[in-house]
Amino acid sequence: MSDTKPYLDRWTGLALLLPMAALLAVFFVLPLARTIWQSVYEYGFTLRAYEMLLTSTLFWKVLQTTFAISFTATIVALLAGYPVALHLSRLPPSRRMPYLVMVMLPFWTSILVKSFALIVLLGYDGIINNALSFISGQDIHIPMVFNRVGAILGMTNYLLPFMILSILSSLLTQDVNLGRAAEVMGASRFTIFRRITLPLSMPGVLAGVLISFTLSIGMYITPALLGGRQDMMMANLIDFYTRQTLDWPLASAIAVVLLFVSGVLVAMLGKVRGSAGMREMSR
């Protein structure tokens, strides 16, 4: 197809990109450059902020918490999302639509609203605890918010659509005849899942995991509202240095570290998506 003329010539293409590029330059690249600059410049070039970070117990603890919470939330989203995606992939398209809308619904809801809704649901006198008390006749107050469980539940709730859609898209590219062929050959449903469906859906699983993890490590509102005092994440730490101690170089340095980690993850994601295996399977 190399001899076909491109739909847009070079200059038209560039002209069309200009408004978006200008917007991003002013409101994204410039502040980002300033943040990076701020992390290394205080009355002259210095690595003080990074030195402080690397020697700070708080930073390492928060980094550890961030990874632990993000990892757990991602795994929970994977375990909860895979069966949903699998079920959706087996529905006829007309019946899949309403369920897909239900999966997408949280996408269209503000994360702040969702977090408060979860407090109403999971709180000390929340709907779930009240219902359990009513059923058992005892006073039940399972602590489900303002602790690690709350943070993870809130984040999983946010991550599920991303996870489900990634896995679903990979499941839908699978040839239905593969399962049929295996069934005729005598394979049980479990064997078909283990030997065919699951391995062929791995690109989707990996993409879902990477997206979820990348989104998780930058989360701010959900852990702040639903987590406990011990569950401070990187974004909350940045907020702390920006607004409480007013140490902007340090806040900037944390932002740069966070950006770097996310960047590495996004690069890995691109690799998974662009890999030959993925292309081959989604032919």
Partner 1 sequence: MQPLIKDMIRVTALTRTYGSFKALDAVDLSVAPGEFVTLLGPSGSGKSTLLNLISGMTEPTAGKIEINGKDATNQPTNQRGLGMVFQNYALMPHMTVFENVAFPLRVRKMPKSEIETRVRDVLRLIQLDHVADRKPKQLSGGQQQRISLARCIVYRPSIILMDEPLGALDKKLREDMQLEIKRLHAELGITMIYVTHDQEEALAMSDRIVLMRKGRIEQQGKPEDLYFRPDTLFTADFLGSSNLLKGKINSTARSLDTAYGTFPLPTARSDEPISGEAVLMIRPESMRLVSDKASAPGAGLEATVRDSIVLGSFVRHFLELPGGKRMIVQEPSGASISRPARGSTVRIGWDLDDARLLPTDPDFQNV
| Positions that interact with partner 1 (CB under 8 A) | 175, 177-178, 180-188, 191, 195-196, 199-200, 277, 280-281, 283
Q: Rounded to the nearest whole angstrom, what is the least distance from the CB of residue 90 to partner 1 in the complex?
A: 14
Minimum CB distance to partner 1 smaller for 135 or for 185 = 185
Residue count of the chain: 283
Minimum CB distance to partner 1 smaller for 56 or for 174 = 174
- Asked if residue 69 lies in contact with residue 155, where contact means CB atoms within 8 angstroms, the answer is yes
Burial class (CB in 10 A: 0-12, 13-18, 19+), 134: exposed
Q: What are the residues whose beta carbons fall under 8 Å from the beta carbon of 183, sequence distance 6 or more?
A: 192
Q: Rounded to the nearest whole angstrom, what is the least distance from the CB of residue 193 to partner 1 in the complex?
A: 13
Q: Rounded to the nearest whole angstrom, what is the least distance from the CB of residue 180 to partner 1 in the complex?
A: 6
Minimum CB distance to partner 1 smaller for 70 or for 197 = 197
In whole angstroms, what is the distance from residue 84 CA to residue 168 CA?
A: 9
Phi-psi domain of 138 (left: phi exceeds 0; alpha: psi -120 through 50; beta: other):
beta
- Asked if residue 44 lies in contact with residue 219, where contact means CB atoms within 8 angstroms, the answer is no
Q: Rounded to the nearest whole angstrom, what is the least distance from the CB of residue 95 to partner 1 in the complex?
A: 16
The token pair that represents 210 in the structure block? 């990477």
Q: Rounded to the nearest whole angstrom, what is the least distance from the CB of residue 176 to partner 1 in the complex?
A: 9
Minimum CB distance to partner 1 smaller for 199 or for 263 = 199
Minimum CB distance to partner 1 smaller for 32 or for 196 = 196
Residue 41 phi, psi dihedral angles, 5° rounding: -130, 110
Question: Partners of 45 in the beta sheet?
Answer: 41
